[in-house]
A and B are shown apart, each in its own frame.
Chain A
């Protein structure tokens, strides 16, 4: 099928059975790929109520039709499963080269079922698929394990791995690839660990068929050159997301001291320019990327190599745990990467523990040592305890929400999460649309689906009207890139125009979709993942969409937005507006009419079968 690897690979680790089935054309037409395929597969194949770490859960790896082609940055792959962090739909995407490789091997989706009896890795060379022994990799750091396998199998293999944290089932373990790219969120590395799978190694030698070869080449070149010509390309390439922390601080959005503030004193020394001077060894791009943002670093004082720190890491480890030395952040980034921990959740959980200690909710005996903001030894101690699930780490490894429930006191008010997923890098009391984006993200408090701080600045940071519509539009556009297998950063960061994508999509797949058609499919997936959460949790709805009390009860402590708070009334206004515009009921649940309008009749039937009352 044009644009596709053409097959679905299914591996049952319990029985050792595997099969390769052609990708149905209907599936491609209706769900496009990647996140669309994952959402549909998890909906169809997972029974509600299953143990996220049991063999009944499935880990689904999928990419989209533009991946591996000449379209700029077609190197994105997503992993999905019922999330051990949230108990609802989970998914995380990453760049690197393995998305393209799986298509050359002939696969658009790999469905991993059951659990292996002992540590194993998946070896996939075109249609040769094996479950191989991995005892020599077990216990190794995520990066070291990748290096070991690369040496064994050769440069032509693309490999993703988990670290010790994934093996130990820490709830925010990530999947790592290409020596520094991570699918970090919602515990996808945890699910991989629960299946006893240390790594997935793929090598493909096949071609991707294209519907109109001549037009696809011409358009691909035009798009690449369009990106090359963008004015801010050079600056973006020099600093990547490391250029963002100083800006985020200036506008008062930089998570600081467990989100007490949005402004970090001394943040200038985290700047990308300083990082480049002190640490960057090479610029590192993902597959097909015209604007490589990866900054591969050597952190001299600690004698370690690491990719990044990226913005999110600098925000959650730097700002949130109060480190203003970029080399310290680089070192702590390295620790998380080798242990296989999501730096967003790790920085959030550790910042929370530091605040609990400061407030006397945790004492030295419970914590195992004195915990201090800005103290490398405290961070190192906690992150290693978490990865090993020892002492205080065994509680923190379950995520910030669980930890707050254990520690008690007022700590739940400053456990910065939604739906059980730790908050990513933007403090949003002074950015209502961005707050709403976090509140309504289908995964929990994550920025991948919509990010709209600049919209709040442009139209007024106190304004509430119109914000919901902006969030909805973004929740269709940004995750659209996670349907097609492409990075969104060319569009987000260097201003590359969206209208190129439907056109090149036609040349590659032959499917005659307009931009509106593609956005409708993106909206359909949005409704499906919301329904997934409702199928799992009978009481799902509005009450799952609120941020922690810190954001509506406490004011920002310092910086340009000191004194700001987003009242509960404002939150209610935003949610009311959002649900109405989405065609959902007042409790934030998709209505029968909306689901039918989206072509999701099968969802209506299934929800009713589980006793959900649709309005």
Chain B
């Protein structure tokens, strides 16, 4: 699973956020999704997708050493995480989020659920699909 983006195809429907929260938190709550959709309206009229590209900066800055790497995917150990928010600030993609009800930040684990339900191909698995 290699998550890739084609922002021009995003229609802003946010299905990606719903399935992300359902799959990773067992909650119907897009504010707990590890993907963020930002509309730029009325001009120039486009959507921006913010999602982790697994660059690893979060792991490098984490003072609690709570973020580990496994097969190129950076995962937060919720036990170790102190909720200090350093990783959120350091994230170069602005793709890590905090929710008032969660101590640990919300971060993409490349489960691919969003790509599975993005019929537009705005978020897609570059390992299995061509850009649309």
Residues of A within 8 A of B (CB): 68-70, 97, 100, 104, 143-144, 147, 155-156, 178-180, 204-210, 213, 217, 221, 224, 227-228, 233, 281-290, 292, 294, 296-298, 305
Inter-subunit contact B99/A205 (CB<8 Å) = yes
Residues on B with C-beta less than 8 A from A286 are 13
Cα-based distance from A286 to B11 in the complex (angstroms): 8
Are B100 and A205 interface neighbours, CB within 8 A?
Answer: yes
Q: Is the CB of B28 within 8 A of A207?
A: yes
Cβ–Cβ contact B11 & A284, under 8 A: yes
Would A228 and B119 count as touching, CB distance under 8 A?
A: yes
Q: Is the CB of B31 within 8 A of A288?
A: no
Chain-A contact segment, one of B15-23, B52-60, B84-92: B15-23
Once the chains are docked, how many angstroms separate the CA of A288 from the CA of B47? 15
Interface string of B1-24 (1 = CB under 8 A from A): 000000011011111001101110
The answer for the CA separation of A284 and B45 in the assembled complex, in Å, is 9
Evaluate contact between A305 and B13: CB separation under 8 angstroms.
Answer: no
Return 6 A-B CB contacts under 8 Å, by A number.
A69-B18, A69-B28, A155-B36, A205-B99, A228-B119, A282-B8
Q: Does B126 contact A (CB under 8 A)?
A: no
On whether the beta carbons of A147 and B31 are closer than 8 Å, the reply is no
Q: Is the CB of A292 within 8 A of B45?
A: no
Task: Pick the most buried of B9, B38, B101, B117: most chain A CB atoms within 10 A of its CB.
Answer: B117
Interface size counted on chain B using CB atoms at 8 A? 36
A376 to B123, CA, bound (A): 42
Is A104 touching B38 in the complex (CB atoms < 8 A)? no
How many inter-chain contacts with C-beta < 8 Å in the A-B complex? 104
A179/B42 contact (C-beta < 8 A), A70-B22, A292-B13 known: yes
Q: What separation, in Å, do the CA atoms of A297 and B87 have in the docked complex?
A: 38
The reply to whether B14 and A224 form a contact with Cβ atoms under 8 Å apart is no
Inside 8 A of A221's CB, which chain B residues have their CB? 19, 116-117
B contacts, CB < 8 Å to A:
8-9, 11-15, 18-19, 21-23, 26-32, 36, 38-39, 41-47, 99-101, 116-117, 119-120
| A155 touching B31, Cβ below 8 Å | no
For the A-B complex with A297-B45, A305-B41 known, give 15 more contacts whose Cβ atoms are closer than 8 Å.
Answer: A70-B15, A104-B29, A104-B30, A205-B100, A208-B29, A224-B15, A283-B11, A283-B120, A284-B12, A284-B45, A287-B14, A288-B13, A288-B14, A290-B15, A294-B11
| Nearest 4 Cβ contacts at the A-B interface | A285-B11, A179-B41, A292-B11, A207-B29
Q: Closest residue of chain A to B13, judged by CB?
A: A285
- A289: chain B residues at CB < 8 Å are 11, 13, 15
> Which residue of B8, B12, B43, B46 has the most chain A CB atoms within 10 A of its CB atom?
B12
Query: Which residue of chain A has its CB nearest to the CB of B41?
Result: A179
Q: Is the beta-carbon distance between A70 and B18 smaller than 8 angstroms? A: yes
Docked Cα-Cα span, A292 to B37, in Å, equals 16
Pairwise interchain contact B38-A296, C-beta atoms closer than 8 A: no
Residue picked from A100, A204, A227, A285, most chain B C-beta under 10 Å? A285
**What is the minimal beta-carbon distance from A265 to any residue of chain B, in angstroms?**
32
Check A282 against B29 for contact (C-beta < 8 Å): no
- Neighbouring B residues of A69 by C-beta, 8 Å: 18, 28
CB neighbours (8 Å) of A294 from chain B are: 11
When distances are taken between beta carbons in the complex, the residues of chain A under 8 Å from B22 are 70, 213, 217
* Minimum distance in angstroms from B25 CB to a CB of chain A: 8
Q: Which residues of A contact B32 (CB under 8 A)?
A: 207
Contacting residues, chain A, for B28 (C-beta < 8 A): 68-70, 207-210
A296–B12 Cα distance when bound, in Å, is 12
